[in-house]
Amino acid sequence: MPFSHDMVYSLTTVVDLLNTSPAAGGGEGLTSVEDLRAFVGRRVISDVENLDDRDLAEVRELRDEFYKVFTAPDRETAVSLLNTLLGRTRITPSLAEHDGFSLHVHYFAPGASLAEHLAADCGVALAHVLVEDERDRLRTCAAPDCDHVFVDESRNRSRVYCDSRTCGNRMHVAAYRARRRA
């Protein structure tokens, strides 16, 4: 991946967010403020406190927008959708070092809500994916019963399943059984 470690981190965050969406096939993963707190905790999102129902609604709305960018049918659509999103996001780059992470760039503005925070940091990361012409790394799982998204970080862009330990294994087993039957 031609991306810096903090870009990759933000892309992993956006993937995590998108996979909580009903569009990813697993039902609503953000049903409560508690779920939102769990997401913030596992992604170690800094400077976010006092989450409430409004944050939940805003983050779900943003998630829909990111989903459209991530799964856009062509580059033009992705660029246009992302520009709309970035256009209304306050962005203030600053260097930070926290929670054991080495020096990295934050893009969210001071006092940003969780949705603004994600729009800035994940939006910029996706912008770099487009700039580097790496959009084909933004993938949806090839397993027929799974719509999870993932970023293919493999050198030869060969990854097709969201998580090789689950979907990958499952599909290999199914292919093996099909071969034995044949």
Binding residue (CB under 5 A) for Zn ion from 146, 149, 151, 171: 146
**Residues in contact with Zn ion, total (CB under 5 A)?**
8
Secondary structure of the chain in HEC code, one letter for each residue: CCCCHHHHHHHHHHHHHHCCCHHHCCCCCCCCHHHHHHHHHHCCCCCCCCCCHHHHHHHHHHHHHHHHHHCCCCHHHHHHHHHHHHHCCCEEEEEECCCCCCCEEEEECCCCCHHHHHHHHHHHHHHHHHHCCCHHHEEECCCCCCCCEEECCCCCCCCCCCCHHHHHHHHHHHHHHHHHHC
Q: Please say which residue, 79 or 152, places its beta carbon nearer to Zn ion.
A: 152
Asked if 138 touches Zn ion (CB under 5 A), the answer is no
Nearer to Zn ion, 119 or 141 (CB): 141
Per rule CB under 5 A, is residue 171 in the interface with Zn ion? no
Q: Residue 81 or residue 141: which is nearer to Zn ion going by CB?
A: 141
- Binding of residue 7 to Zn ion (CB under 5 A): no
Residues in the site for Zn ion, rule: CB under 5 A? 46, 96, 141, 143, 146, 148, 162, 167
